[in-house]
Amino acid sequence: MTSIESRLRRRDDVAAAAERAARGFRTRASEEGLVDIAYGWVDSPLGKLMAAATDDGLVRLGFETERVETTLEELARKVSPRILQDDVRLEKIKRQLGEYFEGRRKAFDMPIDRQLIHGFHRLVLDATEKIPYGDVSTYQQVAERAGNPRASRAAGNALGSNPIPIVIPCHRVVRTGHGLGGYGGGLDKKQLLLDLEGVTL
């Protein structure tokens, strides 16, 4: 006969019930406007991507090579700690990324929250957003369009710290003379994205 104490201590069957109740909590929290950042996962040929969005739009896209805990902690510090996993709120973003990776989408149509991008970096990434699908620019050209033709190194830094890669297409910026240049997520990923868009250097 199982004692009362040991029956109270049983854990296994409670976890599933807690998870179900937690889903209900996420819905209620979202309805009450208590979630400042919703995040979720997107499958892609580059591996799993973590997408995070505020009410204003997509604020962060991370490769799985970055530690997700670190990315979330950074968002908690810089934006808000009211962060919940909520795939429902990221549906539009996930769908468009899926279409892009299948080659069916050439431009993204989603709100973007640029609050993590400051100063000159903002100008560089704004210029980068204007490079069309299947095209490339050089670091030099992007620096010029951002208003400082001599700042190609600073432009490189801005691109390297792009919080929303792929959607802000920093992979379309290459070295003068058509070297690949650098990429935060790894050069193989940059090559894969350019291949996908049909770019040959």
Partner 1 sequence: MPPFQTVIDQHQDEVYRLALSAVGPVDADDCFQETLLAALRAYPTLRDASNLRGWLLTIAHRKAMDHHRARGRAPVPVGDVRDLDGGVAPPPTIEDAEIWAAVRDLPPKQSLAVAHRFVNDLAYRDIGRLMGCTEAAARRSVHEGLTRLKKEYVK
Residues with catalytic function: 170
Among 48, 82, 106, 153, binds partner 1 (CB under 8 A): 82
Check residue 168 and report its DSSP letter: S
Distance CA 111, CA 41 (A): 18
User: Are 94 and 48 a contacting pair, CB within 8 Å?
Assistant: no
- At its nearest, how many Å lie between partner 1 and the CB of residue 1? 8
**Closest approach of Cβ 194 to partner 1, in Å?**
33
Nearest alpha-carbon partner for 41 in 110, 94, 2 = 94
Per-residue contact track with partner 1, 26 to 65, x per CB under 8 A?
Answer: --xx--x-xx---x--------------------------
Nearest residue (CB) to partner 1, 10 versus 150 = 10
> Do 100 and 168 touch, CB atoms closer than 8 A?
no
Structure-block tokens of residue 37: 């950042």
> Quick one: which of 55, 73, 99, 135 contacts partner 1 (CB under 8 A)?
73
Which listed residue (48, 78, 80, 107) binds partner 1 by CB under 8 A? 80
Instruction: Report CA-CA distances (Å) from 200 to 17, 102, 179.
Output: 53, 19, 11
Which one of the spans 3-11, 57-65, 109-117, 137-145 is the region binding partner 1 (CB under 8 A)? 3-11
How many Cβ atoms from other residues are within 10 Å of residue 200's Cβ? 6
What is the nearest approach in angstroms of partner 1 to the Cβ of residue 102?
29
Smaller CB separation from partner 1, 62 or 169: 62
